[in-house]
């Protein structure tokens, strides 16, 4: 999911930087002081998980866990993912500084979007609805991130069309795997720390849905 330096066009890079700046503003504004330790842990988990790459053709794939971050932190996914990508770019030259904006947006926006849309199903007292919602909360953000990465490449130039397809197809196994990872994580949290899921993506306390 990391797009390297020197690949994307200036308009795509600028658009990503502007959108991420807005996301960072909203995310930092919604981040409560008591959630900072949780945000730090999730940023570290994201940092480590996405360091392990599996090469697929000219691209590579890795765990992302943006869905888990979106479910747990909502709008704060933007600064959490931004920090992880910044450290990866500085320490390991993964991605880069000029692509930091678009890379952050491609991973954080789907996390926030589906964290909001799937919050009610995930917190449902109906076990089937909660299970399906939790799985989709892990898989759909990864699929959407793959589509955004592919779109970023294609909007830079049609010569990246084949690479765009390879990026999208190469991440399909991750889509399936991360659905189960997030499902198991949410089930575990519901048993040991249910209050972690009691805050909406907009920073408001919520109650489990009845259906």
Asked if 183 contacts 138 with a C-beta cutoff of 8 angstroms, the reply is yes
Task: List the CATH number of the domain containing 43.
Answer: 1.10.1760.20
| Token pair for 211 | 């259906």
Q: Which domain holds residue 186?
A: 10-197
| C-alpha distances out from residue 115 to 14, 65, 75, 123, Å | 26, 12, 9, 11
- Domain-embedded: residue 75: yes
- Domain-embedded: residue 2: no
Q: From first to last of the 211 residues of the chain, give the pLDDT tens digit.
A: 678 778 889 999 999 999 999 999 999 998 888 888 889 999 988 888 776 655 555 555 667 889 999 999 989 999 999 999 998 888 877 778 889 999 999 999 999 999 999 988 998 889 999 999 999 999 999 999 989 988 898 888 877 778 777 777 877 888 888 999 999 999 998 888 877 776 555 544 444 444 4
Considering the entire predicted model, what is its pTM? 0.85
Number of domains composing the chain: 1
- Domain-embedded: residue 206: no
- Domain-embedded: residue 90: yes
The DSSP letter of residue 75 is G
- Domain-embedded: residue 172: yes
- Domain-embedded: residue 69: yes
């Amino acid at each position: 999911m990391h797009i390297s330096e020197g690949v994307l066009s200036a308009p795509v890079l600028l658009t990503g930087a502007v959108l991420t700046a807005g996301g960072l503003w909203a995310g930092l504004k919604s981040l409560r002081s008591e959630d900072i330790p949780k945000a730090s842990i999730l940023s570290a988990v994201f940092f480590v998980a996405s360091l392990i790459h599996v090469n697929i053709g000219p691209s590579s794939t890795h765990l992302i866990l943006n869905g888990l971050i979106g479910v747990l932190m909502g709008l704060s996914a933007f600064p959490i993912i931004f920090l992880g990508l910044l450290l990866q770019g500085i320490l390991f030259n993964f991605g880069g500084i000029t692509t930091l904006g678009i890379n952050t947006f491609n991973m954080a926006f789907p996390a926030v979007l589906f964290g909001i849309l799937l919050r009610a199903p995930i917190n449902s007292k109906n076990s089937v609805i909660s299970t399906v919602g939790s799985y989709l909360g892990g898989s759909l953000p990864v699929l959407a991130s793959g589509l955004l990465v592919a779109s970023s490449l294609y909007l830079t130039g049609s010569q990246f069309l084949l690479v765009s397809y390879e990026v999208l197809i190469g991440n399909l196994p991750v889509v399936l795997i991360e659905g189960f990872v997030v499902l198991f994580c949410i089930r575990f949290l519901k048993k040991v720390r249910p209050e972690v899921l009691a805050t909406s993506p907009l920073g408001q306390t919520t109650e489990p849905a009845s259906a």
